[in-house]
Amino acid sequence: MEYVSTRDSSRKVSAAYAIAHGIAPDGGLYCPTTFPALTADDWQALQARDYKGRAALILGKLLTDFSAEELAAYTAKAYADEKFGGADTAPVVALGEGRHMLELWHGPTCAFKDMALQMLPHLLTASLRKTGETRTACILVATSGDTGKAALDGFHDVDGTKIMVYYPVDGVSPMQKLQMTTQEGKNVEVVAIRGNFDDAQSAVKRIFTDEQTRAALDADGLMLSSANSINWGRLAPQIAYYVSAYCDLVASGAVEMGAPINVCVPTGNFGNILAAYIAGQMGLPVHKLICASNRNDVLTDFFRKGGVYDKDRPFYATTSPSMDILISSNLERLLFFLSDGDDRLVASLMAALAQDGRYQVDDALFAKICASFDAGCCDDETAAQTIRALWEQQHYLCDTHTAVAVHVYEDYRARTGDQTPTVIASTASPFKFCRAVLEALGGTLDKDDVSQLDALTAFTGVAAPAPLAALAGKTPRFDRVVDKEDILSTVALLRDL
């Protein structure tokens, strides 16, 4: 299995190289040149395995320079029962009317990012060895809330790595901020940026493409890598949980083997839903992928308004902050896949986005996109109504991001009449967004601190996840705030870790 950049497919690299380096030198994202197929024997094996075994099989199809034994060892460590509250790593909960919640937040940071970022440290350190890399990997992460903590948790005190996380100073929930700023570890640094997530993401990409910065780091025995979903090693593990969910649906009798499902995903950076698309290309029977956005509806407009991607629009801070994104990086990979690997086209579209803030795909490419995708959006008020309705009607407590997906799916079903059984990605614990969830249920909250967990528990009777409750009494370690224009100056912090 070989990998190429979305902007220059002439140079092929191994999976290990793509994972070690994170992003291509031209700014493009590494992609596999083909999609490996899941055979009938593979599906039979998947049905018989637990989540760890399923993930190892899927990754083995994609990361062919890793042995089956290596991947089995990594998945056993990454998805250890004590990290995910038991062997049911990513449970599927039936809500009736064809809705099935894929709960991806039972890991150590209570968000779906754990599903990949508990695995990535094993893949990255192995990739450094496989490529003969002797420099220390400096992992830069831009986060809208959940990726940062999950990456910090996965990489803290991992030999041969340093990690620095950038987050928008006013763009994450109090719980997300507390999780990041109290992170333990000798090799970690956390920096707040005055701006939004797109500012943080663009700034990090600027570091990756700044030759002077890269040369200075190299002279110090350091190299740059990434734990965002621009890194293939972060995206690949996410493919596994959609395949696993299908196996669970078959085992429960909810669908027959080979019957199609829909997948609805709340997404801002487009990585989580792209993983479902790739699963479909490998053989997961997917009828429609439903992209759910909040009020920052740039993706909804792209899918429903003729393939025009226009980031020049108002940016809204919402109750689902992990989706407060206007530059959806992984859409670049979809354009590459559906244009049959047309790297020149993708490079020109990304250049137009950088220069003009917009681009438009042609009718033929847009028709391919529409064949697989639908989309919708949901504002904060509607998300709150959805949280309350799910609690009152199903006694199911969900967070704000999941509520966006539930509403968008219900709107899709009403609009299209499509009754295909649907997997809805539930991406975070409701306790990460206590104020919004509690107020949606009709409660109130006086303070935005760890005591909010007790308030939500008292109101619902649902216990808070242990990793969040453990934050009580912790003092923040990191309080650095910089302007987005000054981000290059922060790279010097890596040398001191």
Q: What is the pLDDT of residues 30-62, one digit of tens each?
A: 999 999 999 999 999 999 999 999 999 999 999
Count Cβ atoms below 10 Å from residue 40 Cβ, excluding itself. 10
pLDDT value of position 145: 81
Tell me the per-residue pLDDT of 206-239, one tens digit each, with 9 for 90 and over.
Answer: 888 888 888 989 999 999 998 988 899 999 999 9
- Amino acid identity for residue 476 in this structure: P
Burial 222-235 (b: 16+ CB within 10 A, else e): bbbbbbbbbbbbbb
With a cut of 80, say whether residue 320 has pLDDT above it: yes
Rounded distance, CA 117 to CA 129, Å?
A: 19
pLDDT value of position 35: 97
The pair of three-digit structure tokens given for residue 159, joined into one six-digit string: 């030999």
Tell me the per-residue pLDDT of 140-168, one tens digit each, with 9 for 90 and over.
Answer: 998 888 899 999 999 999 999 999 999 99
| Percent of the chain surpassing pLDDT 70 | 100
- Alpha-carbon distances, residue 418 vs 261, 293, 421 (angstroms): 11, 20, 9
Q: What's the rounded mean pLDDT across residues 441-462? A: 88
Any residues with CB less than 8 A from the CB of 271 and at least 6 apart, and which?
Answer: 229, 234, 235, 238, 329, 330
Rounded distance, CA 104 to CA 90, Å?
A: 5
Active site residue ranges: 113
Rounded distance, CA 224 to CA 213, Å?
A: 10
Place of tokens 């220069």: 355
Q: How far does Cα 182 stand from its chain's mean position?
A: 22
Averaged confidence pLDDT in the chain: 95
| Percent of the chain surpassing pLDDT 90 | 86
SS3 424: strand
- Amino acid identity for residue 155 in this structure: F
**Looking at 142-151, 225-234, 417-426, 441-450, which range is the least confident one?**
441-450
Verdict on whether the full-model pTM lies above 0.85: yes
Residue 319 has φ and ψ, to the nearest 5°, of -80, -5
SS3 407: helix
The pair of three-digit structure tokens given for residue 215, joined into one six-digit string: 């040369």
Q: How far does Cα 427 stand from its chain's mean position?
A: 9
Residue 96 bridge partners (DSSP): 99
pLDDT value of position 495: 85
pLDDT value of position 201: 83
Residue 218 has φ and ψ, to the nearest 5°, of -60, -40
With a cut of 90, say whether residue 492 has pLDDT above it: no
